[in-house]
Structure 1
Amino acid sequence: MTSFRWVSGAVYGIVLAAGLYYALAGLGDGNPPRLAGFVAGMAALFALDVVERRLDRAPVVFLVARLALFSSVAALDESGLSRALFVLVPFTAYLTFGRTAGLVLGGLCLALLAGGFAVWVPGWYRDATHLSDLLMFGMGLVLALAMAEVATRERRAAARIAELSAVTERNRLARDIHDSLGHHLTAIAIQLAKASAFRDRDPAAAEQALTDARDSAQRALRDVRTSVGALRSAPVTLRAALTELAGQDDRVTVHIDGAERDLDQATVTTLHRAAQEAVTNARRHGAATAVSVTVTYDPAGTRLVVTDDGRGFDPSADRAGFGLLGLRERAALVGGECIVDSRPGAGTSVTVLVP
Structure 2
Amino acid sequence: MVYGNDALRRTAAEVLERRRQPILAAYRQRLAAATDDLGGVADLVDSYTTQADVLVRETVVEIGRETTDPLSAPPPTAPAEGVDLHPRECFRAVVALADILLADALEQLCGRPDQGAILALVADALTRTTLTRLLDASSRYAAGLMNEVHQAQIAERSLIARELHDRLGHSLSAAYRNLEAHELAQERHGGDVDRRVVIARESLHDAVGYLRVLIADLRLSQPLGSLDEALANFLSTVETGETRLHTEINGDESWVPPEVLDEVFLVVREALRNAVAHAGARVIHAVVDITPHELRATVVDDGVGFDLAAERDGSGLRAMAERAAAVGGRLAVRAAGRQGVSVELVVPLLAVGAGAGR
TM-score range, shorter chain: 0.3 to 0.5
Q: Which has the higher helix share?
A: 1
So what's the TM-score if we normalise by structure 1? 0.36
Structure possessing the higher relative contact order (Cα contacts under 8 Å, 6 or more residues apart): 2
Normalised TM-score (structure 2): 0.35
